[in-house]
Amino acid sequence: MIILSIDSSTPVAGIAVSDGKNLLGEVMINTQNTHSEKLMPMVAQLLHDLQMSIQQIDAVAITCGPGSFTGLRIGMATAKGIVQGGNKKLIAIPTLDTLAQNLNHYPGIICPIMNAQKKQVYTAIYKSTETGMERLSDYQAIEAETLAEQLLALGETVWFTGDGVDAFADVFRAKLGEQCRLADGNTVLPRAGALAMLAAERAEQEQFDDLYQAELIYIRKSEAEVQWEARNQQTQA
């Protein structure tokens, strides 16, 4: 099965193509959230470089959040458009799962953290096993210091990855000491190649998402939604 993987959950856009077992090609561009302009040209260019056509794609994988509200919506709309236009399969995978996959086979606890602003991170806790990455907690938005205290109680080495590493490294180092390990390089970014690996596992088990029911995972409301609700409540008061 040929799978096109798309990640637009952060300012870095990623596209990958795999055959279910091998990664055939991958490209990442720091587009600074201009995903609406870049995603489809990136798809077209990668397919051209691989001497493939969109008709050869059997399934489309997409990161479904959390992440940039606008980026997620653009990515999901792009994926659904390709799926609907070509009668293909859809695979939606949480961004935190994709980040954790970057550190597959690392010892200890894997903790992807995405900067959620307001001193909070989007996160979940994982551990690498012989059968793959196992998620040990729910997806959540939590204050970095509270998360650090929870991880300290586990008594294991903790590997952090994601864009929250730069923002909260000092918090985790102070709380966890020698238990704290920080990923670097490309492992701190959601990679379409990692998404492709997870999508291949889902495809092998024929676990596809319904085109019309697949939803984004926001975890919490956007600041615009919070402000709108506050204004609406004041108007009704």
- CATH number (domain holding residue 137): 3.30.420.40
237: burial class by Cβ within 10 Å (0-12, 13-18, 19+)? exposed
179 and 210 both lie in a single domain = no
132 and 160 both lie in a single domain = yes
How many domains does one find in the chain? 2
Q: Is the pLDDT of residue 231 over 60?
A: no
Residue 20 has a pLDDT of 86
CA-wise closest residue to 124 among 132, 196, 133: 133
CA pair distance 25, 5, nearest whole angstrom: 10
37 and 77 both lie in a single domain = yes
198 and 217 both lie in a single domain = yes
136 contacts: CB under 8 Å, gap ≥ 6: 109, 124, 125, 126, 127
CA pair distance 63, 41, nearest whole angstrom: 19
Is 127 contained in some domain? yes
Residue 233 has a pLDDT of 58
Q: Is the pLDDT of residue 82 over 80?
A: yes
Of 76-80, 126-130, 200-204, the least confident: 126-130
148 and 204 both lie in a single domain = no
Q: Residue 169 is part of which domain span?
A: 103-188
Residue 227 has a pLDDT of 52
Q: Are strands 3-7 and 59-63 parallel, antiparallel or unpaired?
A: parallel
Instruction: Kindly state the tokens that stand for 68.
Output: 């940039």
15 and 74 both lie in a single domain = yes
176 and 213 both lie in a single domain = no
| CA angle, residues 151, 164, 221, in degrees to nearest 5 | 95
**Could you tell me the pTM of the whole model?**
0.91
Residue 237 has a pLDDT of 57
Contact 47, 55 (CB under 8 A): no
Which residue has tokens 């995972």?
Answer: 217
